Amino acid sequence: MESLSSVLCFTAAKFRCPKNSPMASSFGPSVPSFSIALMASGHQPTPTPKRFPKVTKTLSATPSPAATLTSTPPATDTSNATPLPPKKVLVPIGFGTEEMEAVIIVDVLRRAGAEVTVASVEPQLEIEASGGTKLVADTSIATCSDHVFDLVALPGGMPGSVRLRDCEILKKITSKHAEEKRLYGAICAAPAVTLLPWGLTRRKQATCHPAFMDKLPTFWAVKSNIQVSGGLTTSRGPGTSFEFALCLVEQLFGESVARKVGELLMICAAEDESRKEEFNTVEWSVDHNPRVLIPIANGSEEIEVVTIADILRRAKVDVVVASVEKSVKILAAQGTRIIADKLIRDAAESIYDLIILPWHRVPKHPKTQLVGGNSGAERLNKSRILKKLLKEQKLAGRIYGAVCSSPEVLHKQGLLKVMYLADLFLLLILIIFNPYASPDQIQDKKATAHPSVVSSLTNEVVNGTKVVIDGKLITSRGLSTVTEFALAIISKLFGHARARSVAEGLVYEYPRS
């Protein structure tokens, strides 16, 4: 079977556990080596000292139960076969949990077919994450005490990791889970701040966010994006969340499902794909703290909403997430419940330097079936208030952008057409010499979008790049490219140094110049 790394088109790193490894006794019988892709962040792991051989990931032998990811039925007759139970995953959250990590883990695992329970360790289900995003858990951690999970995955963040550590119910659940040799994982601060005090990293190699590496025992600390040690998987930070989540998918469901999910996330990219391309360069700098509006609806893609808001807030941008629904409570595409900052009518009272449209679609996850009706993109397109805001944004010469399929909303409102003074002059000349001329004859703005909609948008689609900037329009292909999208915005507003500083905090590789 073709390895996941070859499909994702990235350099693969081999993780092996030699039989004579000093850690081998704690890992149990030796298992085959496997390849894992160095994907979203692009980081190359720091080589492990020779005395610490890299470990092997143990893959689940159970085939995927995710019907939506099965391309062909098995050759044998399975009409009388008993359906496999779904893989059950627990993702606990608390005040100060890192929202990018929590949402990406949940989103990716649900795409793979896992039954994910988001449990609050707080007295209430609603929590405010470390970057200010408000999330609503599915249930309280107390209701999970008697449940058996195939995986417990801990997001990081501060003080979120401390809140998880101090939850006795979660400690008992995770400790019992580890004793029974089931899969568990942690990212960012959680390996050092949560698992280490519980004794669940003992005699296991682990990694974590660089700011907390000194807390891990030196002998067992590994500076790599992903570290698999027996049933424990650890990772470094928000910038490695996709890699971490897909690693967990591969262990639960196998390589083929992880490969398919990676393709859906658009992580498979050409090796020569550029980060961004810019045309008709203009300055974006403002003389005040930039204000950004992100309108959302039921069916919004949670990865895009949360990632863009989180990263921009790290750069001290004033971000407002506004609901175009009748309520601030939004049910996102993969079942994550988000509470917007405002309703769109209240947000419309302010002026924004940038308006960003995330992807909205007809949700397919069971938790979102109550949404019904039109897709989120249609909801955005039919919002009179948002239409007015976007029109004013363009006429005033302010910035606007869209990711994934949402450039289609801009297209329907004529916002992918060039409208600089030079172009208006060109239109006037056209009309003088050609009475049948129309604004459509003005050259389209260059853009990119999800492959499913690019053909209907513009004749100026730019392929082979994650982010396209044309004057004061910025677009991205979405999902796994939104980190580059947000960092490109920061670079335009504040300069490359600020973008690089934010990327370092994310543990995301970013060029020095």
Question: In angstroms, rounded to a whole number, what is the distance separating the alpha carbons of residues 57 and 13?
Answer: 12
Give the tokens for residue 371: 């949404």
CB 487 within 8 A of CB 467: no
CA-CA distance, 3 to 203, in Å (whole number)?
29
Take residue 180 and report the two structure tokens written for it. Answer: 């029974």
Q: How far is CA 17 from CA 21, 33, 263, 280, in A?
A: 6, 8, 29, 52
User: What phi and psi, each to the nearest 5 degrees, are found at residue 196?
Assistant: -60, -50
> Which residue in the block uniquely carries the two structure tokens 């993702």?
91
Q: Are 485 and 474 in contact (CB under 8 A)?
A: yes
Are 479 and 448 contacting, i.e. CB atoms less than 8 angstroms apart?
no
Structure tokens, 399: 């910035």
Contact between residue 89 and residue 109 where contact means Cβ atoms under 8 Å apart: yes
DSSP SS3 for 120? strand
User: Using an 8 Å Cβ cutoff, are 333 and 302 in contact?
Assistant: yes
| Rounded CA separation 102/107 (Å) | 9
- Cα(166)–Cα(164) distance, rounded to whole angstroms? 6
The verdict on whether 209 is a catalytic residue reads yes
Is 188 among the catalytic positions? yes
CB 305 within 8 A of CB 338: yes
Cα–Cα–Cα angle for 262, 228, 54, rounded to 5 degrees:
115
Do 210 and 235 form a contact (C-beta atoms < 8 A)? no
Cis peptide before 83 (omega within 30 of 0): no
DSSP of 289-308: --EEEEEE-TTB-HHHHHHH
Which residue from 16, 15, 12, 17 is spatially nearest to 44, judged by alpha carbons?
A: 12
Of 429, 428, 307, which is closest to residue 358 (Cα–Cα)?
307
Distance, in Å, from the CA atom of 157 to the CA atom of 140, rounded to the nearest integer, reads 19
Which of 43, 144, 208, 209 is the catalytic position? 209
Report how far residue 327's alpha carbon sits from residue 343's, in angstroms, rounded to the nearest whole number: 7
Q: Give dist(CA 308, CA 184) in Å, integer.
A: 28
Residues identified as active-site:
188, 209
